[in-house]
Structure 1
Amino acid sequence: MTNHEEGKPNGAENDNNKSELEDTTAVDIDLPDESKTQLINGGAGEDHPEKFKTAIVDPGASSDGEASFNGLGKDEVLQYANDPFWVKLRWIMFILVWIGWLAMLVTAIAIIVLAPRCPHRPDLKWYHTDNVYQAYAKSFKDSGDDGIGDFKGLKDKMDYITDDLKTNALWLSAVYKADKDSSGMGVVDHKAIDPEFVKDTDEFRSWVKKQRKEGKKVILDLIPNQTSKKHLWFEKSVNQEGDYKDYYVWADGDKTKAPNNWKMVDSNDSAWTYDATRKGWYLHQFSTDYPDLNLNNPKVVEEIKDIMKYWFDAGVSGFNVRQVEYLVENPDLTDEHDDHRHQTLNYNGTLTFLEELRKVAEDYSDKPGRERVLYATVHHANGAQIKSYWGTEGNERLHIVAPYMGQLGDSACDAKCVKEMVEKVISEETEEEQWLGLQVGDQDMSRITSRLAEQDPVNYGHRLVNAHALQLLLPGTPLVYYGDEFGQRNGNGTAPGKFHSPMQWDNSENAGFTKKGVNPYIELSPTYETDNAGVGQVIFKDMTPFVAYQTLTELRKEESFQFGKTKLCTVGDNVLMFSRHADRFPYFITLVNMGASEVTVSPSDLKCLDTKDEAKVSFHSRDEKVDETLDMEDQSVHLAAFDVVVLKYAAED
């Protein structure tokens, strides 16, 4: 067909050819070998110079002469898939990728194996790491000018507990509505606060909840062994009303003869009293005014659990279970066959009861840092019985058991005596799973400073620092009775009231507990002008017991004191040494001279604790050489009378 037939003039065809040539672009291409030449030229196979110009017609080129390259078609790519050059190049790239990947894998493994591991930290709860400070409610601070400590006074002094003592856990004792002279033990209502302390129980509950939200802990006493005779339960039990009939331990019998030969705890009097209304005998191990609850009765157990829930709902963080060794007695009321208490002391039923309480506490331990705790002081139990109060997996009981350790600061108990006492309750098992409470005083015993001052009127302050070091640095939770931090002594009067003497804030009249001219509800200690929180914080030549307490509390935050293993040994009769060592953390050795003479501890003496060649002084009770580095290979440690020195060693890899 001619151009004429197509309707196009010859000139138009020429114009088109000219346009195609104008769209042709000259491109310089390097051709290092024949293979590349063939690839570019569609496989023509002709010889080409190293550089040449070839015309590539780009149908999609723009009118301004810009060229584009459309690449190879499928057939062309397949044609050269087996070309030796490209096969070789692919293998090289494949091998390089795998070598790079393997190199990264080896490097990652080397980092994991050779890099320092993170030190192991056990899952510690708040009650493992904090001190617990016990305050006797009506003896802490009077804000109403009536001589009785009250709720507002307590709130006004909370900064002292949290800031000066560096603790967030307050154990508040004798706070329930109870018989006036019962030291809080004759409870009338477990769900009401003593109106002399605070008139509105709901106000107290709201405050407790607020403390919990702020990360502070409030702990109360739980008194499941007994109530006051004025308690509604007992009044109904006397009248044998419904289920209340068996809420207490009753026994039938002639009013002239007690049901058995059981004796009261603190006297040789019978533990039974006849009630003429009921015409039966009720058990009272501590006072005729405090009848014993029948904890063998499941309904009574549920009542105690309900009390716990009531206070847990209010934000209470735990309970100190009072009189734990006497809670459950033999329901058969069998006579004692000797002078020991087999039927009422550490009786097996107590353990089952504690398991029920533990379940309630666990149900409320919903978040880390918000766990609920149960603990108790044990005065009359052997090693096996103490361990039974912790329980076993699946039968957990108390979180913390505090064996009586009042001898920690007793001048009659030398270093070997203390070592033996501590080793009875500390083992690898107790350090890992069974947590100790460390207590040297409470509301039921003579204050530690009074005991020390009676034994050694000259050096009692130094001995108190000894006791602080043992209580704060041995494994366990320190349970500190108010005023012991600076050396408060018993008040005037009789026991147990003199153990609850008003807190001594300063050396003003009435020790700052209440205003001048007001008579405190209970007598002060006669030494309040020298033994008080204000004077205790003054730095003298020798470190005061209060400053020592504060310094040792800070030191206790070190990991090795929190969860390190403990090893004890002695030098002679008077020097107790113990190490606290957590793997891969700095560790410590504490030296306590419990005698009135100077002692030199040689490097060979320290070898029983696996020391290293170099140590730094972290604490000195006379505030000497603190932060000084000692060469423990050649240098001895000189301890003055009643000195306490803590040495710090570098962490081991």
Structure 2
Amino acid sequence: MIRIFLILIYIQYIYSYQSNKPCDESWWKTATFYQIYPKSFKDSDGDGIGDLQGVIEKLDYIRNLGVTGIWLSPIFKSPEKDQGYDISDYRDINPMFGTLEIFQQLVNEVHKRRLKIIVDFVPNHTSDKHEWFEKSVNREDKYEDYYIWKGDENSTGPPNNWISNFKFSAWEWNENRKQYYLHHFLKEQPDLNFRNHHVRNEMKDILSYWLVQFNVDGVRIDAVPFLIEEKNFRDEPRSNDPTATEIDYEYLNHIYTLNQPESYELVYEWRAHVERTSAISGQEKICMSEAVQPTDMVIPYYGSADGSRLGAHFSFNFILLQELKSTSNAKDLANLINEWLNKLPTKYTSNWVLGSHDVHRVATKFGKERVDLLNMLTGFLPGIQVTYNGEEIGMENGPVPCMFGHDHVYNCTTYPNISRDFERTPMQWDNSKCAGFTNVTRTWLPVSYKKLECNVFDQEKNAKSHLNIYRDIQKLRTLLKQQTQIQLKVLDKNKNILEIVRFNNAMEGHRKTDIFEMILNYGNESVVVPITEEPPFQVMLRSGNSPKKCGEIINGKHITMDPYEAIIFRPTKRLPQK
């Protein structure tokens, strides 16, 4: 019935629809998206697991951050073999999080606060408990080729040498069907066959279900590089990684399983479908794509270079998340920013990501002293900012004894340095026993003892806390929307001072009041640096460790930057002499 209803609506709008002309291009281009990991955000019912009602309870906090909207990590029905990325029903909510009715309430409450809501869309694979897979195993009509099956009862081994992203063969034998099926991730996550038009239509229906029926504002498309494989299923060549063994994903060069031309085309197809839902609702819906790949492979998911084919509204830019180190310097930082900006066609909107539920916390990776600096940087750079919940207060990795871990892929016994449990510990709302996350003592992951020195309640009261610096950069972003161009310059011989000037390229000349400038010291030593702009200038924002004051007027041509300090200022008119 849903499909028939949507077809009728599409017919109604078909003559007014233009596939590459969105309804309103404004709201998302300067947005800040706040990623919520629901299991660890707020528990409302006392089971020690975060839920949708808990998110509703914290919406005023989120609104007061000054962000544009929230993005929810997977909340759909799942056996939780990979923390919700193994979906068994795309059209229902996992009972641990709530119900469809509570989800609709969440959407309504989000919109009441003039926020946006994005949900995860995981199309590459399902759970092996999904009814589609069970029907495919039994070769039921229509479903026989929903997944990628190879071999027969006479097979003596996997169809080729492809390796799963989580080690070992990417093929799993199914005794009932007497064939191998493909899985790029866990064996419990069989890959869908997007050369099957029924599968493509199913996914469009699912997009419409959430975007139209529940009125969500967009989707984040997971794992797009893996969507479609080379059709001849050829063996992949050996990589140049000398440390990889035959079971490791890094052992092969994945030229036949990653970033195939058809995968880009599929994202373009979904963008066109999202645009159709925008036409139906009269509101601009968006899609984001996730591709943890080199920049040259990521950017085409935005669309063609000339913009004639549109893909994701933006594809996550992980260059800082992947390449920046605590041992980097300002020159490294400038090179990474420039690499992205120089390769991204000007037609497309940039974005900046520092953390997520899959990588260690910013404060752990780069040091607590750099939290403000990096939040200010990603807020100052033009385009979209994406923040993982807890990064606004500078949460660190939480200690998780292996006996209490839940990462079934990278368990901390086998992978003590890369387990994803550490960055998924409960949100630290206050310094009480369970950090205000729940009213029970047993939580799905242990609450970190670091709640005593890092929590929302204490930081609310400190004007120079990470939380309030984060709020201030969100306020400043409203003034930065028109200044879309930047210049980067490394200012000191130690290569630790970076100057960023942000301006509007359309201006005739650069009026002082139309320029914003940021200077940051990525290093651990004080440095006196020259200022590009003529004084005087006014400090608009400073990191919490800075001795400078917001609103302060500085007249000198040089400025002392303390270790890990960052300031944002704008030139101002010279004040009259008294």
Q: Is the 8 A contact 1:296 1:349 kept in 2?
A: no
Pairing 1:21-36 to 2, within 5 Å after superposition:
none
Equivalent position to 2:424, from 500, 522, 525: 500
Please give the alpha-carbon distance, in whole angstroms, between the structure 1 residues aligned to 2:548 and 2:97.
45
1:182, distance to aligned residue in structure 2 (A): 2.1
1:509 alignment partner in structure 2: 433
Please give the alpha-carbon distance, in whole angstroms, between the structure 1 residues aligned to 2:571 and 2:25.
23
1:436 alignment partner in structure 2: 350
Q: Is the 8 A contact 1:409 1:466 kept in 2?
A: no
Please give the alpha-carbon distance, in whole angstroms, between the structure 2 residues aligned to 1:345 and 1:290.
17
1:591 alignment partner in structure 2: 519
Output the amino acid matched with 1:154: V
2:289 alignment partner in structure 1: 376
| SS across alignment from 1:396 | coil
Q: Is the 8 A contact 2:344 2:350 kept in 1?
A: no
- Compare CA radii of gyration and give the structure with the larger one: 1
Matched, 1:402 2:328: no
1:466 alignment partner in structure 2: 373
2:141 alignment partner in structure 1: 242
TM-aligned CA distance change 1:550 to 1:623, over 3 Å: farther
Matched, 1:134 2:35: yes
TM-aligned CA distance change 1:369 to 1:437, over 3 Å: farther
1:369, distance to aligned residue in structure 2 (A): 8.8
Please give the alpha-carbon distance, in whole angstroms, between the structure 1 residues aligned to 2:283 and 2:27.
8
Q: Is the 8 A contact 2:535 2:557 kept in 1?
A: no
Output the amino acid matched with 2:372: V
1:304 alignment partner in structure 2: 203
TM-aligned CA distance change 1:369 to 1:420, over 3 Å: farther
1:291, distance to aligned residue in structure 2 (A): 0.4
2:450 alignment partner in structure 1: 527
1:365, distance to aligned residue in structure 2 (A): 2.0
Q: How many residues align?
A: 505
1:344, distance to aligned residue in structure 2 (A): 0.9
TM-aligned CA distance change 1:501 to 1:578, over 3 Å: same
2:95 alignment partner in structure 1: 195
Matched, 1:170 2:70: yes
| SS across alignment from 1:435 | coil
TM-aligned CA distance change 1:471 to 1:498, over 3 Å: same
TM-aligned CA distance change 1:407 to 1:346, over 3 Å: closer
2:303 alignment partner in structure 1: 391
Q: Is the 8 A contact 1:615 1:647 kept in 2?
A: yes
Any gaps of 5 or more consecutive residues in structure 1? 1-122, 453-459
Matched, 1:259 2:152: no
Q: Is the 8 A contact 1:475 1:562 kept in 2?
A: no
Q: Is the 8 A contact 2:81 2:188 kept in 1?
A: no
Query: Hey, which of these two has a bigger chunk of helix by percent?
Result: 1
Q: Is the 8 A contact 1:587 1:650 kept in 2?
A: no
Please give the alpha-carbon distance, in whole angstroms, between the structure 1 residues aligned to 2:109 and 2:370.
39
TM-aligned CA distance change 1:398 to 1:145, over 3 Å: same
2:249 alignment partner in structure 1: none
| SS across alignment from 1:418 | helix
Please give the alpha-carbon distance, in whole angstroms, between the structure 2 residues aligned to 1:551 and 1:247.
49
Of all paired residues, the percent bearing the same amino acid is: 30
TM-aligned CA distance change 1:338 to 1:408, over 3 Å: closer
Q: Is the 8 A contact 2:56 2:109 kept in 1?
A: no
Equivalent position to 2:470, from 544, 549, 554: 549
Pairing 1:212-251 to 2, within 5 Å after superposition:
212=111, 215-251=114-150
Please give the alpha-carbon distance, in whole angstroms, between the structure 2 residues aligned to 1:209 and 1:315.
9
Matched, 1:411 2:322: no
TM-aligned CA distance change 1:367 to 1:576, over 3 Å: farther
Equivalent position to 2:262, from 335, 342, 349: 349
Equivalent position to 1:316, from 201, 216, 219: 216
Decide which moves more: 439-448 or 186-195.
439-448
1:562, distance to aligned residue in structure 2 (A): 5.1
| SS across alignment from 2:537 | strand
1:11 alignment partner in structure 2: none
1:256, distance to aligned residue in structure 2 (A): 2.9
2:50 alignment partner in structure 1: 149
Decide which moves more: 373-382 or 498-507.
373-382
1:623, distance to aligned residue in structure 2 (A): 5.2
Output the amino acid matched with 1:145: G
2:7 alignment partner in structure 1: none
TM-aligned CA distance change 1:154 to 1:160, over 3 Å: same
1:650, distance to aligned residue in structure 2 (A): 4.9
- The one-character-per-residue Cα deviations of 1:333-374 (angstroms, maximum 9, x if unpaired) are 111023211011111111110011101111122399931111
Output the amino acid matched with 1:125: S
Please give the alpha-carbon distance, in whole angstroms, between the structure 1 residues aligned to 2:527 and 2:356.
33
Q: Is the 8 A contact 2:483 2:515 kept in 1?
A: no
Please give the alpha-carbon distance, in whole angstroms, between the structure 2 residues aligned to 1:396 and 1:228.
30
Please give the alpha-carbon distance, in whole angstroms, between the structure 2 residues aligned to 1:487 and 1:567.
28
Please give the alpha-carbon distance, in whole angstroms, between the structure 2 residues aligned to 1:387 and 1:180.
31
1:196, distance to aligned residue in structure 2 (A): 1.0
Q: Is the 8 A contact 1:409 1:467 kept in 2?
A: no
1:504, distance to aligned residue in structure 2 (A): 0.8
TM-aligned CA distance change 1:181 to 1:503, over 3 Å: farther
Please give the alpha-carbon distance, in whole angstroms, between the structure 2 residues aligned to 1:297 and 1:650.
61
| SS across alignment from 2:316 | strand
2:276 alignment partner in structure 1: 363
1:156, distance to aligned residue in structure 2 (A): 0.9
Please give the alpha-carbon distance, in whole angstroms, between the structure 1 residues aligned to 2:295 and 2:51.
39
Please give the alpha-carbon distance, in whole angstroms, between the structure 2 residues aligned to 1:239 and 1:225.
21
Output the amino acid matched with 1:519: R
| SS across alignment from 1:638 | strand
1:180, distance to aligned residue in structure 2 (A): 2.8
Any gaps of 5 or more consecutive residues in structure 2? 1-23, 240-252, 406-411, 413-418, 574-578
TM-aligned CA distance change 1:341 to 1:225, over 3 Å: same
TM-score by length of 2: 0.83
- The one-character-per-residue Cα deviations of 1:80-134 (angstroms, maximum 9, x if unpaired) are xxxxxxxxxxxxxxxxxxxxxxxxxxxxxxxxxxxxxxxxxxx852112221001
Output the amino acid matched with 1:478: Q
Decide which moves more: 225-234 or 288-297.
288-297
TM-aligned CA distance change 1:203 to 1:422, over 3 Å: same
TM-aligned CA distance change 1:237 to 1:563, over 3 Å: farther
Matched, 1:328 2:228: yes
Q: Is the 8 A contact 2:530 2:557 kept in 1?
A: yes
Output the amino acid matched with 1:245: E
1:158 alignment partner in structure 2: 59
Please give the alpha-carbon distance, in whole angstroms, between the structure 2 residues aligned to 1:239 and 1:562.
57
Output the amino acid matched with 2:298: I
| SS across alignment from 2:315 | strand
Please give the alpha-carbon distance, in whole angstroms, between the structure 2 residues aligned to 1:196 and 1:168.
27
| SS across alignment from 2:435 | helix
| SS across alignment from 1:242 | coil
Matched, 1:635 2:557: yes
1:409, distance to aligned residue in structure 2 (A): 6.2
1:535, distance to aligned residue in structure 2 (A): 2.1
Output the amino acid matched with 2:471: Q
Q: Is the 8 A contact 1:586 1:650 kept in 2?
A: no
TM-score by length of 1: 0.74
Matched, 1:271 2:166: no
Please give the alpha-carbon distance, in whole angstroms, between the structure 2 residues aligned to 1:319 and 1:184.
15
Q: Is the 8 A contact 2:25 2:284 kept in 1?
A: no
| SS across alignment from 1:480 | strand
Matched, 1:489 2:396: yes
Decide which moves more: 334-343 or 593-602.
334-343
1:538, distance to aligned residue in structure 2 (A): 3.2
Please give the alpha-carbon distance, in whole angstroms, between the structure 2 residues aligned to 1:349 and 1:643.
46
